[in-house]
Amino acid sequence: MIPTSRSTTIATVSAVFPCYNDEPTIGRLVDDVHDALCRLVADVEVIVVNDGSADGSGVLLDRLAVTRPWLRVIHHERNGGYGQALISGFSAARNDWIFYTDGDAQYDAREAALLVPLATADVDIVQGYKIGRGDSWHRKVIGRIYHHVVKALFRLKVRDTDCDFRLFRRSLFTERPLVSTSGVICVEMMRSFESAGARFVETPVHHYFRPAGRSQFFRVRALAHSARQLVELWWRMVVRGR
């Protein structure tokens, strides 16, 4: 059951969405996350990073922002990649805690409310893990292989490395800036936060089949770019210990 009343130590949350050609889904997600979180915390801002979308996402978001004072839209003139969109959103966040998920509606933004009560005084990160995976069979296979490879290479303890449904203290990001511009940023984030001694708690969240559009990650060019960044990240963070 999703909590509907304030019973948490968290006072402020910035909800961040990267958006690339997510016009069919981003508007509902913006309203869903704000509605869910404002019932639990005193101050909620929603930040959407329009990462050079070629569809009508930018126009839609600007129109929504006119009637939603809690919504801020950041526009990238060109597509900089998933990681760059997250870095822009995290950098713009003003509140003490940051929640983020994707703009394609494979996660239910309302379930952000499940994470908030778990963010107690002795917790730094509330990490989701997928209940099943709403993808085609080949993406499920690739996803599991990727998870086990990066978990071993980077010595990660989290149950689901690539579950992009997280709530964490903003200070973790401000004290340890992230640099990966592709989806590899999730691995960098987990390795950086774990190495810093951050305290984790994990909880299940639902994952659904993508209702519109096409993932940018599962393309040959994107996979090659991510693989290169993954190797560079492993060399820097594991081999050289930086």
Q: Is residue 77 part of a domain?
A: yes
Q: Is residue 3 part of a domain?
A: no
Q: For 34-85, what is each residue's pLDDT tens digit?
A: 999 999 999 999 999 999 999 999 999 999 999 999 999 999 999 999 999 9
- Domain count for the chain: 1
CA distance 38 to 8: 12
How far is C-alpha 96 from the chain's CA centre? 16
Q: Is residue 147 part of a domain?
A: yes
Rounded alpha-carbon distances, angstroms, from residue 208 to 1, 42, 110: 18, 30, 13
Q: Is residue 6 part of a domain?
A: no
Q: Is residue 214 part of a domain?
A: yes
Whole-prediction pTM value? 0.89
Q: Is residue 2 part of a domain?
A: no
- Residue 27 belongs to what domain range? 12-239
Q: For 216-241, what is each residue's pLDDT tens digit?
A: 555 556 667 778 888 888 989 988 87
Give rounded-to-5 percent helix, strand, coil for the chain.
Answer: 40, 20, 40
CATH of the domain at 168: 3.90.550.10
